[in-house]
Structure 1
Amino acid sequence: MSQLNALSIAVQAGVPVLTWGPPGVGKTATITMLAEELSLPLEVVLASIREPADFSGLPVIREDGVRMEPPAWAKRLVREGKGMLFLDEISTAPPAVQSALLRIVLERVVGDLALPDGVSVVASANPADQFYSGWELSAPLANRFCHLVWYLDTHNWVEGMVRGWSILGLPRLAPDWEGSLPEKQALVASFIRHRPHLLLQVPKDETQAGKAWPSPRSWSMAARLLAAAHAVRAEEDAVALLVSGCVGEGACLEFLAWYRDLDLPDPEDVLADPSRFQLPERGDQAFAILAAVVAAAIGGLTEERWAAAWSVLAKAVDQGKKDIAAVAAKKLAQAKKPEFPLPRKELREFIPLLQKGGLM
């Protein structure tokens, strides 16, 4: 069930998903049922029999110049305003077709037509040792997906055969689910500050380059999925699948181990009463909580939360953590509303820094 929950969360969060698994394990059937359950119009495109022009558009001469005419399936998705684009058998698409898919997967642009934000991209592929003719995914294309390995659960298959197939009870994202995104972005940034070598690790092996690996793009996707998972209170197994699907298993294990060891307070509790807050001595913990507090304050910015965040940063300076607090101070200063007064006492240590950056 964890893999299905992870797939549902990623689709609703708008993060492109690539499901890996041998033929016949139900990848296509599950994606079709998921589209029905989420009330999303489904467009299935068999990548292996398409030409690059089917994705980049056919050149059409008009009075105002040459336009790249999109295919019919793209126009249907635009008319609907939402939907799911399912790119089947993507691992058997030749390199030229994979190149044409780059803008679609990342930017949702087909020819000269932009797909609506409500369109999610899902693809499926067979492992290299389980297809007879095909290509490894190019590194640029692979790094645009959250990779989910689709395994066969015998118990669920038997239940489905006897009782019928169903995917009811999937997590649903509320319209305001992105509220925790700044906090999760700050969390990921804190980890990368602590483990800078994990920001970018392009595999040298062609096979691994076609799977999940760490990059600025994939870490950004991971932060988005962490926020979505947080919004539906996803189980740890689903969270691990989503993060490892973006940045790879090794980087994911390091991130989750680091996160469990942080033991951070709730940023909302800190903002509610900054006077009781004590900054951790460990540098990575201090950076993470300050970033999270500022992100939470900006996420629901009021004059009271603005002042509370500055109080927290001032306490960090008093505890000898000025350098760590400086990054958060810049972000907080950038979010200032014109009507907010400047808390001179709390700001005094940061004034030269903010003036140098043109923020005061």
Structure 2
Amino acid sequence: MDVSVAHSALVASVAAGVPVLLWGSPGTGKTSVVRALGESFGWPVEVVVGSIREPTDFAGLPVVVGGDVRLAAPVWARRLADAGEGLLFLDELTTAPPAVQAAMLRIVLERVVGDLELPPGVRVVAAANPPEQAADGWDLAPPLANRLVHLDWPVDAKAVANGLAVGFPKPEPLNYQGPDPARLVTSRAAVAAFLKVRPALVLQVPTVAAKAGKGWPSPRSWETVAVLLATCDTIGANEDVRAALVTGAVGEGPGIEFLSWLAHADLPDPEAVLADPDSFQLPERSDRAFAALTAVASVAITHGDAASWTAAWRVLAKATKAAPDVATLVAQSLAANRPRGAALPPEVLHLTPILKAAGLMPDGS
């Protein structure tokens, strides 16, 4: 992986709020780049090394307060909570023994340390050496690995040489930007359509230890893929960055298969469809039809206005005969999210059988 791609993928993960793990040999600058990233965001960075911590440093230390037992968070967690935003850097992750890795599970996924919930502005970044290169290394436990996006951190000899000769460049200030809500629902629809075609990839728990410690497909990691794709679309990340993030979340095989499907799906822009519903042509392939219709309905619901909602019904009416199953699903979603003052278009009459089958219209009407 190119250094610039790895750096952009790291930035996208942090912007998306997705925990990310940098894999690389000792001395490759992982810690330095995370500190520089925090500086570019203007955030504090708290470095926590698992090998010198106890499980209570993450699960909380039991203390008695007023007759109740509470799980007190350590000082580094309280500093992040007081700051409201920042990077929690879990360094040397593969030196953490299994009991400590288990204690990290909740903080990586939910940002909870003991009884303290960290603010949404706190992001989690980790770094690790391969177990065979780490001091007293341990394989990463599958539950922890599945909560992270895995990025291989490369070494660029030219960049190192230039940095040693004239100084390493300081990071430019970054504009933090999470995924756009409309792009997020579109990405979720695309992932859902792919999993309808490849249901075997919804969950594949690795049986080999080496693969279990990296990204693998699960409902959680596919949700992560949707968030990362939406973030990439929002910040304008290139295809190489998207590929690194997708394969880092669900593994190389499933990730490449999904990216190939996505590249050939040629899905319409739901915003453009809502702006001109009469021009919409339902894709012939059932997976593409599912992705297109669910994306249009989700974006209309996200907008929350009568015009978008009515336009979505007009799109749905054009799909009634060709994709009745998808039309029923989308009709239920639209009906449950009707904006105030929204009127059904005349085309909805074509949906009468669908609405009745979905229980949205009495049989006598």
User: Normalised by the size of structure 1, how large is the TM-score?
Assistant: 0.94
Q: Is the 8 A contact 1:173 1:231 kept in 2?
A: no
Q: 1:355 aligns with which of 339, 359, 363?
A: 359
TM-superposition CA deviations, 1:261-282 (whole Å, max 9, x none): 0112221221112112111111
Task: For 1:212 and 1:175, locate their aligned partners in 2 and report how far apart those are by CA, in whole Å.
Answer: 22
Instruction: State whether structure 2 residue 289 is matched by structure 1 residue 294.
Output: no
Q: Is the 8 A contact 1:190 1:291 kept in 2?
A: no
Residue type of the partner of 2:183?
A: S
Instruction: State whether structure 2 residue 236 is matched by structure 1 residue 220.
Output: no
Corresponding residue of 1:330: 332
Corresponding residue of 2:152: 149
Q: Secondary structure at the match of 2:18?
A: coil
Question: How do residues 138-287 of structure 1 correspond to structure 2 at under 5 angstroms?
Answer: 138-166=141-169, 168=171, 172-174=175-177, 177-287=180-290
Task: For 2:237 and 2:297, locate their aligned partners in 1 and report how far apart those are by CA, in whole Å.
Answer: 25
TM-superposition CA deviations, 1:162-218 (whole Å, max 9, x none): 332235457634367344111111111111111111110100011211110000000
Residue type of the partner of 2:352?
A: R
Corresponding residue of 1:104: 107
Q: 1:114 aligns with which of 112, 117, 133?
A: 117
Which moves more between the two structures, 269-278 or 226-235? 269-278
TM-superposition CA deviations, 1:13-48 (whole Å, max 9, x none): 110011100001110000010000011111001111
Corresponding residue of 2:58: 55
Q: Secondary structure at the match of 1:355?
A: coil
1:260–1:357: structure 2 CA closer, same or farther, 3 Å change rule? farther
Query: What is the CA distance between 1:356 and its match in structure 2?
Result: 6.7
Task: For 2:159 and 2:98, locate their aligned partners in 1 and report how far apart those are by CA, in whole Å.
Answer: 36
1:171–1:33: structure 2 CA closer, same or farther, 3 Å change rule? closer
1:258–1:171: structure 2 CA closer, same or farther, 3 Å change rule? farther
Task: For 1:242 and 1:6, locate their aligned partners in 2 and report how far apart those are by CA, in whole Å.
Answer: 6
Q: Secondary structure at the match of 1:345?
A: helix
Q: 1:35 aligns with which of 19, 33, 38?
A: 38
1:114–1:321: structure 2 CA closer, same or farther, 3 Å change rule? same
Q: Is the 8 A contact 1:172 1:232 kept in 2?
A: no
Question: Percent identity, aligned pairs only?
Answer: 49
TM-superposition CA deviations, 1:283-328 (whole Å, max 9, x none): 111111111211221221211111111111110113x211122222
Q: Is the 8 A contact 1:5 1:171 kept in 2?
A: no
Q: Is the 8 A contact 1:178 1:228 kept in 2?
A: no
Task: For 1:307 and 1:256, locate their aligned partners in 2 and report how far apart those are by CA, in whole Å.
Answer: 32
1:179–1:280: structure 2 CA closer, same or farther, 3 Å change rule? closer
Residue type of the partner of 1:226?
A: L
Task: For 1:4 and 1:175, locate their aligned partners in 2 and report how far apart those are by CA, in whole Å.
Answer: 17
Which moves more between the two structures, 84-93 or 177-186? 177-186
Instruction: State whether structure 2 residue 85 is matched by structure 1 residue 86.
Output: no
Task: For 2:150 and 2:325, locate their aligned partners in 1 and report how far apart those are by CA, in whole Å.
Answer: 37
Q: Secondary structure at the match of 2:140?
A: coil
Q: Secondary structure at the match of 1:45?
A: strand
User: Normalised by the size of structure 2, how large is the TM-score?
Assistant: 0.93
Q: Secondary structure at the match of 1:15?
A: coil
Q: Which runs of 5+ in 2 are unaligned?
A: none
1:206–1:175: structure 2 CA closer, same or farther, 3 Å change rule? closer
Task: For 1:25 and 1:303, locate their aligned partners in 2 and report how far apart those are by CA, in whole Å.
Answer: 54
1:347–1:302: structure 2 CA closer, same or farther, 3 Å change rule? farther
Query: What is the CA distance between 1:142 and its match in structure 2?
Result: 0.6
Query: What is the CA distance between 1:342 and its match in structure 2?
Result: 3.8
Q: Is the 8 A contact 1:16 1:122 kept in 2?
A: yes
CA-based RMSD = 1.8
Q: Is the 8 A contact 2:40 2:171 kept in 1?
A: yes
Residue type of the partner of 1:327?
A: L
Aligned length: 357
Residue type of the partner of 1:113?
A: L
Q: Is the 8 A contact 2:22 2:153 kept in 1?
A: yes
Q: Secondary structure at the match of 1:348?
A: helix
Q: Secondary structure at the match of 1:144?
A: coil
Q: Is the 8 A contact 1:311 1:346 kept in 2?
A: no
